[in-house]
Amino acid sequence: MWFKNLRAYRLTSPFTLSAEELGDKLAARVFEPCAKSQSQSMGWVPPLGEPAQELVHAAAGRFLLKLKREDKLLPSTVVREQLDEKVQAIEAEQGRKVYRKERLNMKDEIVQDCLPRAFSRSSHTYAYIDTRANWIFVDTVSAARAEELLNLLRDAIGTFPVLLPQVKDAPMVSMTHWLLHRSVPEDVELGTECELREPGEEGGIVRCRGVDLLSEEVETHLHAGKQVARLAISWDERVALVLSEDLCLRRLKFAEELMKENEDIPEADHAARLDADFALMSDAVTSLQERVLALFGGETQ
């Protein structure tokens, strides 16, 4: 139970539901596999896995959730080939042209006919609500997947107002300043990866990996006007990550010392191990988020 990525959203009002009340509401959107003619299905599943049945796992005021998504895989080439064959047959047999509206209707029929035979792919997105610190953290780099989870949560509980955190100092400017002036905060250690971006929509992008980020090579790009859009760092010897200008935390890697704290719990006791790992991980994540905001001057009010 260790998140790999992090998108954080600030709750704009206190979360007042208990774990039991939230679980009851999520039960209305429990995951159901795709029906034969359905291309996608989403719903909530127990975050601790089978044989657990609770849709919300609570620990110290933090509620862990798990969204399951199933997609039917139907290659567009298959649909296009069948559509072309039908169109050609109609035009040859009836001596007329098949126009756009009819083609779309035929395409829909082909999709509905093929869906029951299509392969399925399942994916999961974890999130947890920190009711004490007023955050929800979603384990994804994709803003669209995060919004997908938030929207399903809103559907279940009626309202769930959140905002992306806003900071006083622009992250790109601050991270660029760290490298240019060699002024990295004391509890932050640079990694060996960054993404440099020129201002403007047409600006160039330079990605550096396995390099000294304080080297002359990187410095030359910065003096040429590029800014740091992503930066690999480690914080307080607890977690390594790639920090993005949109405050998304990517490729989280928690320190081995932290992850080994629950080694005394047998692997066979899967639920207990997940519960203990979640407690450790959520403590570290909430602290990390507060530190990230502080690095950029704190939240705007």
Among residues 11, 18, 1, 4, which one has the least CA distance to residue 154?
A: 11
The pLDDT value given to residue 243 = 97
% of the chain beyond a pLDDT of 70: 99
Please state, for a pLDDT cut of 90, what percent of the chain lies above it.
66
Query: What is the C-alpha separation between 4 and 145, in angstroms, rounded?
Result: 14
CA separation for the pair 173, 6 (Å, rounded) = 21
Provide the H-helix boundaries in 27-165.
76-94, 100-114, 143-157
pLDDT recorded at residue 268: 64
Q: How far apart are CA 6 and CA 289, in angstroms?
A: 9
Of the candidates 160, 174, 200, 115, the one whose C-alpha atom is nearest the C-alpha of residue 297 is 174
**What is the C-alpha radius of gyration for the chain, rounded to an integer number of angstroms?**
24
pLDDT exceeds 80 at position 74: no
pLDDT above 90: residue 100: no
Question: Tens of pLDDT along 240-288?
Answer: 999 999 999 999 999 998 888 888 877 667 778 888 889 999 999 999 9
* CB count in 10 Å sphere of residue 134: 15
For residues 296 and 171, the answer to whether their CB atoms sit within 8 Å is yes
pLDDT band with cut points at 50, 70 and 90 for residue 42: very high
Structure tokens given for 146: 């995060």
Tell how strand 249-254 and strand 239-244 pair up: antiparallel
Least confident of 73-87, 93-107, 140-154: 73-87
The residues near 278 (Cβ < 8 Å, ≥ 6 apart) are 1, 57, 59, 62, 64, 128
Over residues 109-114, mean pLDDT: 78
SS3 268: coil
Rounded mean pLDDT of 87-113? 83
pTM confidence score: 0.85
Q: At 233, list the tokens.
A: 């760092």
Average pLDDT over residues 38-66: 90
Question: In the beta sheet, which residues pair with residue 138?
Answer: 7, 127
The predicted model gives 112-138 an average pLDDT of 88
Res 73: pLDDT: 75
pLDDT, tens only, 170-216: 999 999 999 999 999 999 999 999 999 998 777 789 999 999 999 99
